[in-house]
Structure 1
């Protein structure tokens, strides 16, 4: 009898988890109008056609599979298996019981099509537009920060070099007797990733420069090699966001420069960049108090990065190259914003 009760409890737990997942998926489908998303994707999605000329899978089926893969930190092969096995997954992506999930090669090809067409930013903008209309995203203030995404495809062992001869294009003769040495990249190394030392630790990979609202919801992403300085990447991501005039822009000391403050003034935005002291000019007590006030809001972007790392196994590049890593950053931003949306809507309703 005790064993039977234990089995029933375990079964009840599984059913409860399934209901939670299905409720969340239903909430997202009720919140988001997917038709504009399909319209953006179909700009480029034409491969994998049947003899009739129609795509083998609806573009939304494949995009929602990408979303599931990001939410649950799955590989292409794992998400294919899960969509076939889990009723809640297959229902969310729009497949019936008799349908088979797209194979991993189809999912990978779909992602590459969107990367090549540079459509991921458009998808994030459209989803955020809808969330802003529903009061989920509020642009009273914006927070700027950067985080490193490590690449596992780092150089290992000794560096190898090849000799490159500098020849005259017309005569074909060497311009000088000196030959140049060029570092040879091994085939398993990500050639677009770079090294950076942060908090005393070496990282090889990329950097995501994010702008969030005051709740930490991601507005835009810019991706660079890891060795790019934060201070030089304030204006570019902010240009992607349609912020109202006089919006407060929060950032840590790494962005403190006269040039950045002039940039914000030119964009008609208000600077809330934390003050950085130097040997020649130590920060005043007033500036210290201002820094404390700014940090109470600015930390929310760090919470966003931490949540993406914990919830979606972020912080590690899944693919090779800058463009594909940027697509990963965008999908993590979409997944994060949607994951938090139902809770924000409930919280707004209770105010």
Structure 2
């Protein structure tokens, strides 16, 4: 409310007002500039984001589309909704032809009889939020929004990391590790390829668990960002198309940015 200049006694804007506000941002192409303003504000507050970057990706669900095989083929061919449903414009307006399906593999729990667990493949329709955050302060450095079928590692060469960052360290999982990414980024990589594996049919030794925990402690910060957006903000896509999905995710990133800045300013300094 303070951001909108509203007081306790003022009326809260309705959903249509907020929708028009977001559409105005999209037409003016001002969301990226607003995110850059937040980056400038946090630097002016004394929190210099120069301590390395952590890269991560999160799936953001969107309403599932139910199409015939012919309609799916037309969507994959790159046709717009009005071309696929020319006689049903009302239906075309409610069809999302930018989102894509992907499969998310969940971690299967170890069985009581120590036999090999079976992984679970969960189909998901929607988009991907690719971000890089500062290691020390946990604020956003770069963001990208794509459909859910895009590979995570390829986004690194599309400006996902801040090349002007003083620190050369990049923390990422094994999906981002490739010869092309290392050559193009020219950064010091820290990933989870060196994690020690669990012994077959035996519990993981405590020493191995501690070693793996130290390797995962830094990169887990980006997962906390995604968890806050989905748990506290309820981040899902309820719009049609990639442009509006990018706007919704960007506004969620800005909201987290403001919350994080307030938390950083309210911390008690160490003695």
- Normalized against structure 2, the TM-score is what? 0.73
Structure label with greater radius of gyration:
1
| Deviation at residue 248 of structure 1 after TM alignment | 0.7
Unmatched tracts of structure 2, length 5 or more: 75-82, 106-120, 196-208
CA contact (8 A) 1:253 1:276 kept: no
Pick the aligned partner of 2:242 from 312, 316, 322: 322
Alpha-carbon spacing, 1:227–1:290, altered in 2? closer, same or farther (3 Å): farther
> Cα distance 1:243–1:291, how it changes in 2: closer, same or farther (>3 A)?
farther
CA distance in 2, matches of 1:293, 1:162: 45
**1:98 Cα offset (Å):** 8.6
SS of the residue corresponding to residue 219 of structure 2 reads helix
Cross-structure match for 1:230: 152
Q: 1:156 — aligned with what? A: 66
What is the number of residues matched between the two proteins?
Answer: 229
**Are residues 1:198 and 2:104 paired?**
yes
Report 1:134-213 matches (<5 A).
134-136=45-47, 138-152=49-63, 154-156=64-66, 158-161=68-71, 187=92, 188-199=94-105, 200-213=121-134
CA distance 1:94–1:298, change in 2 (3 Å) = same
Of the structure 1 ranges 210-219 and 191-200, higher mean CA displacement relative to structure 2 is found in 210-219
**What RMSD over aligned residues (CA atoms) do the two structures have, in Å?**
3.2
Matches within 5 A, 1:1-351: 89=1, 93-95=4-6, 104-136=15-47, 138-152=49-63, 154-156=64-66, 158-161=68-71, 187=92, 188-199=94-105, 200-214=121-135, 215-238=137-160, 241=162, 243-265=164-186, 269-275=187-193, 293-314=214-235, 316-347=236-267, 349-350=269-270
TM-score (norm 1): 0.57
Counterpart Cα distance in 1 of 2:262 and 2:214: 29
Structure 1 residue runs of 5 or longer lacking an equivalent are 1-88, 165-181, 278-287
CA shift for structure 1 position 202: 0.5
Q: Secondary structure at the match of 1:312?
A: coil
Q: Aligned partners of 1:301, 1:257: CA distance in 2, in Å? A: 20
Higher relative contact order at CA 8 Å, sep ≥6: structure 1 or structure 2? 2
Check conservation: 2:143, 2:160, Cα contact below 8 A.
no
Could you tell me how far apart the structure 1 residues matched to 2:254 and 2:139 are?
9
Residue by residue over 1:57-84, the C-alpha shift from the partner in whole angstroms, topping out at 9 and shown as x without a partner, is: xxxxxxxxxxxxxxxxxxxxxxxxxxxx
Distance 1:336 1:98 in 2: 25
Q: 1:94: how far off? A: 2.2
> Cα deviations across residues 289-341 of structure 1 (Å, max 9, x unaligned)?
99764422001101110111111001x10211111111111111111122122
